[in-house]
A = this chain, B = another copy of it.
């Protein structure tokens, strides 16, 4: 028997409360049974998003939410500024181009956070820009972009929407959607929300809804205006993913019990301990700036293949973390502390990393990272 641990940045483990609820007999999405379920989900998401606006619930992966953010609030040919600092920044560009937007990029070296001044300059230099598209957490590099600061810059421009992919950030980072001026914020079920994949969430500001009136991009499945109308009656436009939404309410219940501030603090505490511990083991963080509280990206020591670390963690120790993607493949490995994660998930990750490095012939003092983590996690 090899006991298994899922410590990847999505999908993440699902708590027993949600698994049990999702195993209950199916209810019908157009029956009165479902109305209070969707109402709870709607209210819970508003609380989590810290917003007065509705958070739409789509049956898709998070990428579907990103598509909805692009093809509901822009016109063909609209110029948008994409902050591209990793694989998911690239995805904004791909989606924008697929729907005929005129995409300008601020490319950010992988492992670094965007320099907000550059955004400010770009917006000043070109009054045609209609939107800024960015990740809160760029999963591929483990970096958090400063959404609050970006929000302050975008707020000065009446015509510009701030569109944030917060799929890997929500729950792990305190993002004040309304207060910071985020116009469209996309989330997904399989990350901080501790659920299986299958739901995307999109929160939309009044400013963005006004822009939706002008949009001329073809859409049908991700038609957010129709979803908004349906949500007012506690319905979704197409068949609701009933089991996942029932699970969502369980996740939200757990988070409400813990308190939003505590949820954020827990993620900050786990992330901090993980970062300090890997440094104590003699490893370097891949995120050179603004490391996220969702996932810690670590450089493989020279001479050791990052994918081999990923594989050994999995095959020998049963720990499913993540390797690197695209240009970072082989160079890094990533450990998530996201969603249903606590003290001993970090300890497991660090012990497994120490044992794996030793296994792969890299000099490491066993227990050195764990000791640091224990110290920090006791606080």
Contacts and interface: CB of A to CB of B under 8 A. Distances in A.
Given A22-B22, A59-B60, A220-B99, A196 B11 contact: no
Interface in A46-98: 59-64, 67, 71, 94-95, 98
Interface residues of A, number: 55
A219 interface: yes
A178 B152 CA distance: 57
A25 interface: yes
Contacts of A220: 63, 67, 94-95, 98-99
Given A64-B221, A95-B220, A239-B197, A23 B26 contact: no
B6 A27 contact: yes
Contact of A244 (B20, B29, B198): B198
Nearest to A13: B26
Nearest to A76: B218
Nearest to A197: B239
A197 B242 contact: yes
A29 B12 CA distance: 11
Given A60-B59, A198-B59, A220-B95, A19 B11 contact: no
Interface in A160-206: 188, 190, 196-198
Given A218-B98, A219-B98, A11 B239 contact: yes
A25 B8 CA distance: 13
A287 interface: no
A312 to B, nearest CB: 13
Contacts of A156: none
Copies in the complex: 2
B29 A13 contact: no
Contact of A242 (B11, B32, B99, B240): B11
A225 interface: no
Nearest to A97: B220
A197 B29 contact: yes
A238 interface: yes
A11 B314 CA distance: 37
From A29, A71, A100, residue with most partner B Cβ within 10 Å = A29
A131 interface: no
A302 interface: no
Contact of A28 (B28, B31, B320): B320
Contacts of A94: 220
A100 to B, nearest CB: 7
Given A62-B239, A94-B220, A221-B60, A25 B11 contact: no
Nearest to A6: B26
Contacts of A217: 218
8 contacts: A6-B26, A8-B28, A22-B23, A59-B59, A61-B239, A63-B221, A197-B241, A197-B243
Given A59-B198, A196-B243, 7 more contacts: A11-B242, A22-B22, A31-B314, A60-B60, A62-B238, A63-B239, A196-B242
Question: Which A-B residue pairs are the 7 nearest by beta carbons?
Answer: A196-B243, A98-B220, A61-B238, A61-B239, A197-B239, A198-B198, A63-B238
